Structures are given as C-alpha cells and as structure tokens.
Amino acid sequence: MKKVLIATEKPFAPAAVEQIKIVLEEAGYQLNLLEKYTDVDEFKKAVEDVDALVVRSDKVTREIIEAAANLKIVVRAGAGYDNLDLDACSEKGIVAMNTPGQNSNAVAELAFGMMIYQARNGFDGTSGKELRGKKLGIHAFGNVGKFVAEIAKGFGMIIYAYDPYVPKIEIEKYGVKVVGSAEELYKTCQYVSLNIPANEETIRSIGYQLISLMPKGATIVNTARKEVVNEDELLKTFEERPDFSYLSDVAPDCKENIESNYKKRYVFTTKKMGAQTSEANIKAGIAAARQIVNYLEKGDTKFQVNK
Ligand code: 3PG
C-alpha cells in the first residue's frame, strides 16, 4: 500500500484533511499525518518510508529528501515552492509540484482585509479612509494578482498592473491598466500589492528606490514573501515617510523595530495567513492528493516544477 505523508507545521482545516483522505483512500493509499511539529527530526522520521509528501510552507530541505528513502513525489499544496530544495529532489528523481491557483482567492481576500483594517485605523473609532477611487498597483499579474484585480473592481479602485511575463492583452481583459515598468507602477499608485514569487530575481528587490516613488499615503501590501522586501530600506522608508504603511501576512524580520517605532503604520498577521481558509485548504489539499494519485498511477507530471 502506498503511503502519503501530510507534514504541516501550520495544519490544514480538518475538513480539508478529511477530503484529502477520501481521495487517497479511493486510490487505495494510506494517509499519515504530521501536524504542528516543532522539531525537524519528527519530520525526518515521518518521511522515512512514504511514497509521497504533501507540505505547505514547510521546508523540504536536502536533509528531509535524504531521509525519505521511498519518496517519489512531493507536492507543495499552494503556489510558492521556494521552500522545496528542487535540486535535491531532481538529484533523487523525485518529482516536485505545486498546486497553482487553488488558494489564490483566499490570499487576495486577506490583502483587502488588511487594507480595510489599515484604512480604518485598526477600527479604533477614529475617522479613516476609503478604498474607492484610490489607485492600486498589482505587482505581478499571476493567479493572486487576478483575484486582487477582481476584488479591487468591487471596491471601485483604479487598477494598474506591471508584469513583464504576462501579455498586455491578458491583463487588460480584467479592466486593468498596464504600465511598462515597476517604477511607473509605484509612481502611480498609493497602494501596491506584491504578488511576485520569491526567486533570485525578486529577493530584496522591493526597496527604497521603488517605494520612495509612491504618492502620499503609500501603502505596500505584501502577501507574497517577506524575502522580496529589502528590510533595511523598508526601515529607511518608515523613518523618512510618516505617511508610509506596510501590511503583510508574514511579519518581516525587523518586526520589533517597526512595532516599537511606527505605531499604527503596519499590519502583520501572526503566521502566514493568506491561504488559511477552509476553502483554500480544501482546494489545494484535494489538488495535491489528486496530483499524487495521477502521478503515481499514470505518470502525469502536469504541475511539475523541477523539470
Ligand atoms: C502559497 O505560496 O501558496 C502561500 O504563501 C500560502 O502558504 P501556506 O500554505 O503556508 O499558507
């Protein structure tokens, strides 16, 4: 019997685990669950004899891969796969996949949750601001960016996007104005939603040079990765611009500095929370389980990311 391990330091909603179990049981597979683990040794032990692995932001390092003697496939139930050591997977012939798009609406909704919370001064009873009529820049128009655009329309925002990898015509279909450079996006928009992946090109790429171009009331909404922001330059911006706010569903390393010195100008969730809804967990979890079955039974590599 094939064994599938779900290793989630931040567990899926119970309903999602139930549904994943149904998909795996139908295929005759066994589900092993390792949730809220605190020690990497627990993860190493649990992965030892499994054929397939499902994770979220859990770090699948070379050490984990080496401990997994039978592993054939690892699926990151979510979009960003910067937590997987792809080289280590490839070297051992292990297929790595993600489940693109499945949790994107949840992430986009949280971006707006944070924007409203900030615009209304943390619901502290004072007069806040509205989103209607404000300019929103979507930095990278992938799956999350599309949902951000859809929701922003409902709020009556004026929407711009920059994505050198998506044809202009594709973005314009969403009623979004396309700009030709990141500089233009930041110069135009009071709100910028970061929806870029974390990779060599983007890590620490969002810094003073871009943010300082933003108009008054500049607000960066980061539901991507903390690593894409240059934190030294983030602090410099906080220091120089009293009108600047930073909203993020994952706290930066310089969180304490911001919390002590720049009150009311930030929102940080306790854990990475963008994808933390039952709906997103169910969709991403079921997709991961199906992809595992399709790969192990039929060799389907559609969502492979380490080709
Ligand atoms: C993703 O890349 O899919 C999101 O950042 C969600 O991450 P999570 O599964 O750890 O919540």
Q: Whose Cα sits closest to atom 10 in ligand 1?
A: 57
Residue 103 Cβ contacting ligand 1 at under 6 Å: yes
Question: What pLDDT sits at residue 128?
Answer: 98
Ligand 1 mean position, distance from CA 277 (Å): 11
| Mean pLDDT, residues 198-207 taken together | 97
Q: Which residue has the tokens 């870029």?
A: 196
Stretch 86-112: mean pLDDT, rounded?
Answer: 98
CA of 125 to the centre of ligand 1 (A): 33
- Percentage of the chain modeled with pLDDT above 70: 100
List 53's β-bridge partners, or say none.
Answer: 5, 74
Per the DSSP assignment, residues forming a β-bridge with 139 are: 162, 194
Share of the chain above pLDDT 90, in %: 99
Atom of ligand 1 nearest to the CA of 225: 5
44-67 pLDDT tens trace: 999 999 999 999 999 999 999 999
Protein residue closest via CA to atom 6 of ligand 1 = 275
- Reported as type and span, the H/E element at residue 91 is helix 86-91
Q: What is the mean pLDDT of the chain?
A: 98
Instruction: Indicate if ligand 1 lies below 6 Å from the C-beta of 285.
Output: no
Give the pLDDT of residue 99.
98
CA–centroid distance, residue 169 to ligand 1 (Å): 28
Q: SS3 for 104?
A: helix
Separation of 119 CA from ligand 1 center, angstroms?
25
Please write the tens of the pLDDT for every residue from 132-180. Answer: 999 999 999 999 999 999 999 999 999 999 999 999 999 999 999 999 9
**pLDDT-derived band at 307, boundaries 50, 70, 90:** confident
Q: Tens digits of per-residue pLDDT, 22-47?
A: 999 999 999 999 999 999 999 999 99
Q: Which domains does the chain have, with CATH numbers?
A: 3-102+276-298 (3.40.50.720), 104-268 (3.40.50.720)
What separation in Å is there between the alpha carbon of 233 and the centre of ligand 1?
A: 25
Q: What is the pTM of this model?
A: 0.96
Closest among 175, 140, 170 to 159, alpha carbons compared? 175
Nearest residue (by CA) to ligand 1, atom 9, is: 56
Ligand 1 in reach of 137 Cβ (< 6 A): no
Q: What is the mean pLDDT of residues 218-222?
A: 98
DSSP 66: H
Pocket test of ligand 1: the residue of 103, 107, 227 to mutate, having most ligand atoms within 8 Å of its CB, is: 103
pLDDT the model gives residue 240: 97
Q: Which atom of ligand 1 is nearest to the CA of 272?
A: 11
Is 54 near ligand 1, meaning CB less than 6 Å away? no
Instruction: Identify the sign of the CA torsion 128, 132, 137, 142.
Output: positive
How far apart CA 84 and CA 159 sit, in angstroms, is 33
- The ligand 1 atom nearest the CA atom of 103: 3
Mean pLDDT, residues 288-302 taken together: 98
Residue 238 pLDDT > 90, yes or no?
yes
E strands present in the chain:
3-8, 30-35, 52-55, 73-76, 95-98, 135-139, 158-162, 177-178, 191-194, 219-222, 245-248, 266-268
Find the 261 Cα to ligand 1 centroid distance in Å. Answer: 29
Counting from 1 in the atom list of ligand 1, the atom nearest the Cα of 56 is 9
Rounded to the nearest angstrom, the distance between the alpha carbon of 189 and the centre of ligand 1 is 26
Q: Is the CB of 272 under 6 A from ligand 1?
A: yes
For residue 290, what are the contacts with CB-CB under 8 A and spacing of at least 6? 23
- The token duo for 304 is 């492979």
- CA-based nearest residue to 134, from 151, 159, 103: 159
Distances from the Cα of 122 to the Cα of 115, 126, 176, 192, 233, angstroms: 10, 9, 29, 19, 25
